[in-house]
Amino acid sequence: MSANIPHRRDLFSWTARGLGAAALLHLLAKPGHGVEVRPHHAAKAKRVVHICLIGGLSHIDSFDPKPELAKRHGQKLDSQQKPDVFFGQIGLLRKADWAFRERGKSGLPVSDLFPHLAGQADRITVIRSMRADSANHTPALYLQNSGFQSSGFPSVGAWASYGLGSVAEDLPAYVVLPDPRGQPNGGASIWSSGFLPGEHQGTLFGSGKNPVRDLFPTKSIGQEEERESRELLNSFNSLHRDRRGDADPLLAARLRSYELAAKMQLSVPEIADISKETEETQKLYGLDRKITAPFGKNCLLARRLLEKGVRFVQLFSGGAIAGTPRTSWDAHEDVKENHSAEAELIDKPIAGLLADLDRTGLLKDTLVLFTTEFGRTPFTQAAGNAIGTGRDHNKYGFSVWMAGAGLKPGTAYGATDEIGWQAVENSVEWYDFHATLLHLLGLDHEKLTHYHNGIQRRLTNVHGEVISGILA
């Protein structure tokens, strides 16, 4: 054997010294980019940013103007139907706390709650007729993210990863950026891969220089200790594989996760370093202000992840429900106080993200989603003869919006009734929303399935129709 060629044992010893060496070997052995799966039909979008508002944004204070509600301010709800609300208090009707104005060339109405986002009105497509099957936060969050009201089902990001694979060789297909103040109810089960292979679960990125937890050791490890620990781990994996065979999905997912972790040790520090972004770009996202900087960093990181080939990035606005003061959009006590505080955190960063995606050319084949698990009631959460300051949960009608590839921008689809309580025109369920999302990604929601416990499961269960009225 030539002196220039390492012995097989020496080579394995070298690669065992660290994930970085293993990553280098992988990159040398597999040139090119990640695997991209052929879609069912021509795709309009290649990637997705999902901004998920936790707690329930009031549609009648943001994207669904109701002049009639202003006229009936202080009156009782005129209905024989008993509303299904969380606290059961049906107070008097209350007008919106923010004025609506027609924005941009399209004239799409957006309230003063989102002054910066209002400047992007010509780029967004509002759905005003969403409906949810639950008025309870956690089941509604599961439904919004997986199509089912309980945990254990794959999230929409996991389905996108499963259906299309990863473009990036050294980053996960699905990345989750939580609110810096905390994770939503349900935690990791919200971005779970469910019964899909584990590699499709969302990878949580935190803040700081090393945003991925446990990617790097907390203390320096000597080469000998590192080598021996790798050898022990490899022996355990080999024994398990010998006993169970190569078809063991858990072992396969574990080995793939280690392989990806090795590559991420090289890619994550670089992508998380936003100091090289121009001052103009950082200001665009609000990084120059303490109040907007945390969410602004997440929005900027989302754009950087998309540029590197990440398929699905999910950003959360709001942490766990409850607490004093609340760190979510759950405005039971006072809508104006709660929503003013929450909107100030995200308004400029999201507007900056849309503008930046557009100027970099990414928006033309990127989908931006802005959703919340349900809306809020047009009547206040108060005694029957009082005009309170808070609003309860409203599953009967609320607003979300989309932007980017394949959509009619600057338009509104569907409608709630004259006071904003129930969807009455072109009602949209989460199944329809998910079917439309997959359609824009080139996936047929009825064909994207996975066999589990005797059933060909899919994101849309046995429901769902593409919302053709919002497509360009």
Please, which residues bridge with residue 174 across strands?
312
Q: What is the pLDDT of residue 272?
A: 78
Residue 286 burial (CB count, 10 A): 27
State how far the Cα of 169 lies from the Cα of 109, in Å rounded to an integer: 42
Torsion of CA 117, 118, 123, 124, to 10 degrees: 80
Tokens 């929005």 correspond to 299
State the number of CA atoms in the 13 A half-sphere of 68 facing the CB: 9
Q: What is the pLDDT of residue 96?
A: 98
8: Cβ contacts below 8 Å, ≥ 6 apart = none
Please, which residues bridge with residue 451 across strands?
456
Give the pairing type, strands 391-394 and 398-404: unpaired
Domains, the chain, ordered by start: 7-36+218-272 (no CATH), 41-209+275-470 (3.40.720.10)
Both structure tokens of 15: 């690669």
State how far the Cα of 20 lies from the Cα of 332, in Å rounded to an integer: 50
- Cβ(268)–Cβ(215) under 8 Å? yes
454: Cβ contacts below 8 Å, ≥ 6 apart = none
Question: H or E element: which one contains 336?
Answer: helix 335-359
φ, ψ for residue 13, nearest 5 deg: -65, -40
- Cβ(402)–Cβ(125) under 8 Å? yes
pLDDT tens digits in sequence order for the chain, 472 residues long: 444 444 444 444 434 444 444 444 333 333 333 445 678 999 999 999 999 999 999 999 999 999 999 999 999 998 878 888 888 889 999 999 999 999 999 999 999 999 999 999 999 999 999 999 999 999 999 999 999 999 999 999 999 999 998 888 778 899 999 999 999 989 999 999 999 998 899 988 866 555 555 445 556 667 677 677 767 877 877 777 677 665 566 656 555 655 555 555 555 667 778 888 999 999 999 999 999 999 999 999 999 999 999 999 999 999 988 778 899 999 999 999 999 999 999 999 999 999 999 999 999 999 999 999 999 999 999 988 899 999 999 999 999 999 999 999 999 999 999 999 999 999 999 999 999 999 999 999 999 999 999 999 999 999 999 999 999 9
Q: What is the pLDDT of residue 238?
A: 75
Residue 336 burial (CB count, 10 A): 16
Q: What is the pLDDT of residue 332?
A: 96
Tokens 């399209």 correspond to 106
- Residues of 420-456 as b/e, b for ≥16 C-beta within 10 angstroms? bbbbeeebbbbbbbbbbbbbbbbbbbeebbbeeeeee
- Cβ(271)–Cβ(171) under 8 Å? yes
Both structure tokens of 238: 């080999």
Q: What is the pLDDT of residue 268?
A: 63
In 273-334, which ranges are continuous DSSP H helix?
279-284, 293-307
